[in-house]
A and B are shown apart, each in its own frame.
Chain A
Amino acid sequence: MKKGKKIIGTSVLKLLLIAAGVWLFSLPAVAQDIDYKTQSLFIYKFTKYITWPQALSRNDFVIGVYGNSPISEELQVMASLKKAGEGQRIVIKRINSVDEIENLHILYVASSKSRELRSILDKIGKKPTLVVAERDGLAKKGASINFLIMENNTLKFEVNRSELQSRGLSISDELLKVGFIVG
Chain B
Amino acid sequence: MRIQLSRIIICILFCLTGTCPYLKAQIEKPETDTLSLSDFYDMTLQQLDSVKASGVSSELEKFINSLISVATQKSLSTRNTPGIITLITEEEIKTSGARDLIDVLRQVPGFDFALDGEGRVGIGIRGNWANEGKVLLLIDGQEMNEIYTANLFFGNHYPVEFIKRIEIIRGPGSAIYGGFAEFGVINIITKGVEDLNGISVSAVYGQMQKTYGRHNLYLYGGKKWKNAALSLSLFNGGGQRSDRDHYGFYNDEWADSLGAGAYASLAGNSELNPSYSNLLFTWKKLSFRSVGDFYDVTDITLIDNNKKRRSQYGINNTYHELKYDFKVSEKLKITPKLNFILQFPVRNNVPDSITRYDQKNFISRSKANITASYDASHRTNFIGGVEYFNDFARASSNGVFRVGDKNVSYHNIAAFGQGIFNLPFVNITAGIRYDWNSSFGSAFVPRLGLTKRLPGNKWHFKLLLSDVFRAPSIGNVVNSFNGNYTIVNPGRPDRYILPEKGIKPERTFVAEAEVGYQINSRMILTANVFDMTIRNPIVYYFYQDDAIRDAFYENAGINVFSNFKRTGTRGYELDYRFKTKWGSVSANYSFYSLESKPRIAAYSVSTFNRNPEKRAEVNNNQVLGLANHKLNVNATYFITQNFSANVTATFYGKRYGYDVLFTGPGKFDVDGQLIRRSPVGLANLYFHYQNLFTKGLDVGIGAYNLFNSKYDFLQPNFALNTPVPGPSREIIVKAGYSFEFRKKKKKV
Among listed A37-45, A115-123, A162-170, interface-contacting one? A37-45
Q: Are B521 and A32 in contact (CB under 8 A)?
A: yes
Q: Are A42 and B48 in contact (CB under 8 A)?
A: yes
Chain A residues in 8 Å Cβ range of B27: none
Among listed A16-24, A57-65, A92-100, A101-109, interface-contacting one? A16-24
Interface string of A165-183 (1 = CB under 8 A from B): 0000000001101101000
Chain A CB within 8 A of B354 CB: no
Chain A residues in 8 Å Cβ range of B43: 41
Chain B CB within 8 A of A81 CB: yes
Chain B residues in 8 Å Cβ range of A177: 45
Looking across the interface, which residue of chain A has its beta carbon closest to that of B423?
A137
Chain A nearest CB from B75 CB (Å) reads 7
CA distance A148 to B45 in the complex (A): 17
Interface of B (DSSP majority class)? mixed
Chain B CB within 8 A of A53 CB: no
Chain B residues in 8 Å Cβ range of A12: 6, 9-10, 13, 649, 681
Chain A nearest CB from B577 CB (Å) reads 12
Among listed B14-22, B284-292, B403-411, interface-contacting one? B14-22
**Known A9-B681, A178-B45; contact A31-B53, beta-carbon cutoff 8 A:** no
Looking across the interface, which residue of chain B has its beta carbon closest to that of A175?
B45
Q: Are A151 and B51 in contact (CB under 8 A)?
A: no
Chain A CB within 8 A of B252 CB: no
Report which of A24, A35, A78 forms a contact with B54, defined as CB distance below 8 A: A35
Chain A CB within 8 A of B38 CB: yes
**Known A31-B520, A32-B58, A42-B48; contact A16-B424, beta-carbon cutoff 8 A:** no
Give residues of chain A (128-183) contacting chain B, Cβ–Cβ below 8 Å.
134-138, 140, 147-156, 174-175, 177-178, 180
Chain B nearest CB from A85 CB (Å) reads 14
Looking across the interface, which residue of chain A has its beta carbon closest to that of B18?
A19
Chain B CB within 8 A of A55 CB: no
Looking across the interface, which residue of chain A has its beta carbon closest to that of B60?
A32
Interface string of B46-74 (1 = CB under 8 A from A): 00111111110110010001010000000
Chain A CB within 8 A of B458 CB: yes
CA distance A177 to B44 in the complex (A): 12
Chain A CB within 8 A of B553 CB: no
Q: Are B55 and A152 in contact (CB under 8 A)?
A: no
Q: Are B49 and A153 in contact (CB under 8 A)?
A: no
Looking across the interface, which residue of chain A has its beta carbon closest to that of B62?
A153
Chain A residues in 8 Å Cβ range of B58: 32
Looking across the interface, which residue of chain B has its beta carbon closest to that of A18?
B18
Chain B CB within 8 A of A125 CB: no
**Known A8-B6, A42-B48, A81-B38; contact A16-B53, beta-carbon cutoff 8 A:** no
Interface of A (DSSP majority class)? helix
Chain A CB within 8 A of B434 CB: no
Report which of B55, B67, B377, B520 forms a contact with A151, defined as CB distance below 8 A: B67
Chain A CB within 8 A of B37 CB: yes
How many residue-residue contacts, CB under 8 A, span A and B? 153
CA distance A8 to B21 in the complex (A): 25
Chain B CB within 8 A of A56 CB: no
Chain A: residues with Cβ within 8 Å of the partner, total of 57
Chain B residues in 8 Å Cβ range of A148: 424
Q: Are B65 and A153 in contact (CB under 8 A)?
A: yes
**Known A9-B681, A18-B18; contact A34-B423, beta-carbon cutoff 8 A:** no
Chain B residues in 8 Å Cβ range of A178: 45, 48-49
CA distance A20 to B58 in the complex (A): 20
Chain A CB within 8 A of B455 CB: yes
Looking across the interface, which residue of chain A has its beta carbon closest to that of B377?
A180
Chain A residues in 8 Å Cβ range of B54: 32-35, 38, 149, 153
Report which of B40, B53, B378 forms a contact with A155, defined as CB distance below 8 A: B53
Chain A CB within 8 A of B183 CB: no
Chain A residues in 8 Å Cβ range of B378: 150, 156, 180
Chain A CB within 8 A of B457 CB: yes
Chain B residues in 8 Å Cβ range of A34: 53-54, 455-457
Chain A residues in 8 Å Cβ range of B67: 151-152
Report which of A15, A27, A29, A151 forms a contact with B77, defined as CB distance below 8 A: A151
Q: Are A174 and B80 in contact (CB under 8 A)?
A: no
**Most interface-central of B13, B17, B458 (chain A CB within 10 A):** B17
**Known A9-B651, A32-B54, A180-B377; contact A77-B423, beta-carbon cutoff 8 A:** no
Chain B: residues with Cβ within 8 Å of the partner, total of 58
Give residues of chain B (354-386) contacting chain A, Cβ–Cβ below 8 Å.
377-378
**Known A15-B14, A16-B633, A41-B43; contact A155-B51, beta-carbon cutoff 8 A:** yes
Q: Are A82 and B38 in contact (CB under 8 A)?
A: yes
Chain B residues in 8 Å Cβ range of A78: 41
Chain B residues in 8 Å Cβ range of A33: 54, 456
CA distance A148 to B80 in the complex (A): 14
Looking across the interface, which residue of chain A has its beta carbon closest to that of B50?
A154
**Known A15-B13, A16-B13; contact A111-B520, beta-carbon cutoff 8 A:** no
Chain A CB within 8 A of B540 CB: no
Looking across the interface, which residue of chain A has its beta carbon closest to that of B17?
A19
CA distance A152 to B422 in the complex (A): 13
Chain A CB within 8 A of B162 CB: no
CA distance A13 to B681 in the complex (A): 11
Chain B nearest CB from A51 CB (Å) reads 16
Give residues of chain B (637-686) contacting chain A, Cβ–Cβ below 8 Å.
649, 651, 681
Q: Are A4 and B3 in contact (CB under 8 A)?
A: yes
Chain A nearest CB from B565 CB (Å) reads 40
CA distance A78 to B43 in the complex (A): 13
CA distance A174 to B48 in the complex (A): 12
CA distance A149 to B53 in the complex (A): 6
**Known A137-B425, A153-B52, A178-B45; contact A41-B17, beta-carbon cutoff 8 A:** no
Chain A CB within 8 A of B324 CB: no
Q: Are B49 and A154 in contact (CB under 8 A)?
A: yes
Chain B residues in 8 Å Cβ range of A20: 17, 576, 587
CA distance A10 to B158 in the complex (A): 34
Q: Are B455 and A31 in contact (CB under 8 A)?
A: no
CA distance A24 to B378 in the complex (A): 37
Q: Are B80 and A29 in contact (CB under 8 A)?
A: no
Chain A nearest CB from B739 CB (Å) reads 31
**Known A15-B13, A153-B65; contact A77-B458, beta-carbon cutoff 8 A:** no
Looking across the interface, which residue of chain B has its beta carbon closest to that of A134?
B455
Chain A nearest CB from B14 CB (Å) reads 5
Q: Are A31 and B3 in contact (CB under 8 A)?
A: no
Chain B nearest CB from A118 CB (Å) reads 16
CA distance A167 to B587 in the complex (A): 54
Chain B residues in 8 Å Cβ range of A152: 67, 75, 77
Chain B nearest CB from A41 CB (Å) reads 6
Q: Are A35 and B3 in contact (CB under 8 A)?
A: no
Chain B nearest CB from A144 CB (Å) reads 16
Report which of A28, A31, A49, A155 forms a contact with B52, defined as CB distance below 8 A: A155
Q: Are B458 and A31 in contact (CB under 8 A)?
A: yes
Q: Are B521 and A30 in contact (CB under 8 A)?
A: yes
Q: Are A154 and B80 in contact (CB under 8 A)?
A: no
CA distance A138 to B13 in the complex (A): 48
Looking across the interface, which residue of chain B has its beta carbon closest to that of A81?
B38
Give residues of chain B (579-624) contacting chain A, Cβ–Cβ below 8 Å.
587
Chain A CB within 8 A of B541 CB: no
Pairs across A and B, CB under 8 Å, 7 listed: A19-B18, A27-B522, A30-B520, A30-B521, A34-B457, A137-B423, A153-B53
Residue numbers of A with Cβ under 8 A of B are: 4-5, 8-9, 11-13, 15-16, 18-20, 22-24, 27-35, 37-38, 41-42, 44-45, 49, 77-78, 81-82, 111, 134-138, 140, 147-156, 174-175, 177-178, 180
Q: List 5 other contacts, CB 8 Å, given A16-B17, A22-B17, A154-B52.
A: A12-B9, A31-B518, A82-B41, A150-B53, A154-B50
